[in-house]
Amino acid sequence: MINFWNQYGAEILFKLWEHLYISFAAIFLGIVVAVPLGAGLTRLKKGSNTIINIVGFFQTIPSMALLSIMLPIFGIGKVPAIIALFLYSLLPILRNTYVGIQSVDAIYLDAAKGMGMSKWQQLFQIEFPLAASVIISGIKVSAVYVISWTTLAAYIGAGGLGDFIFNGLTLYRIDLIMMGTIPITLLALLTDAVLRFIESRVTVGRGE
């Protein structure tokens, strides 16, 4: 075990950092775009479902195909991988933000109007807090998916733990495959657990 770590330890840590950088950059961009967009769609009278379906279209494209499409546009490396994974991250966050805000009881909104709150104040002080657990649930789903799909970033030279898996498949070495698979699985489980905890604390904070 010591010899194994001496031989591969530094490389595992570097590939883990690359994996974290790519996946969390994509998730961060997904949150920055999808949460405001989802909130904005609740203000539309028509067309919200059409926009959600357009965003959902990206998830129907096979991941390898989407990464390949990015190559002639952005070249190889981390940038095309982050953009592709960002597109994959959008739908769960967007849909949950939209549904969460839409499901806020009208009683709270009527009370807010009676207090003289503006629409922006209603959104940030009433709707977002009440929809927070649903939004976090969407982020959780998106994050776990993206961490798993980041494995394929190695296909276009972006690095990450997927390098071990692809090299292991090429060289028929199960140890290299496991060096990539185990950390990715643990990272996805840890991320899911952290977001579940945050979701539960938000729910408790709302008194549910």
pLDDT digits (tens, 9 = 90+) for 106-137: 888 888 888 888 888 888 888 888 899 999 99
On the question of pLDDT at 204 being above 80, the answer is no
Flag whether 35 is in a domain: yes
| Number of domains, the chain | 1
Q: Token pair for residue 103?
A: 């499901």
Q: How confident is the model at residue 63 (pLDDT cuts 50, 70, 90)?
A: confident
Q: How confident is the model at residue 199 (pLDDT cuts 50, 70, 90)?
A: confident
* Residue 54, φ and ψ in degrees, nearest 5: -65, -45
Q: What range defines the domain where residue 174 resides?
A: 8-205
Flag whether 39 is in a domain: yes
Flag whether 58 is in a domain: yes
On the question of pLDDT at 206 being above 90, the answer is no
Flag whether 1 is in a domain: no
Flag whether 3 is in a domain: no
Flag whether 177 is in a domain: yes
Pick the more confident residue, 27 or 114: 27
Flag whether 2 is in a domain: no
pLDDT digits (tens, 9 = 90+) for 138-189: 999 999 999 999 998 888 888 889 998 998 988 888 888 898 899 999 999 9
58, with CB counted inside 10 A (0-12, 13-18, 19+), is middle
In this predicted structure, what is the pLDDT of residue 67? 82
Dihedral class, residue 128 (left if φ above 0, else alpha if ψ from -120 to 50, else beta): alpha
pTM, two decimals, is 0.88
pLDDT, averaged across the chain = 87
Distance, in Å, from the CA atom of 153 to the CA atom of 142, rounded to the nearest integer, reads: 16
CATH of the domain at 73: 1.10.3720.10
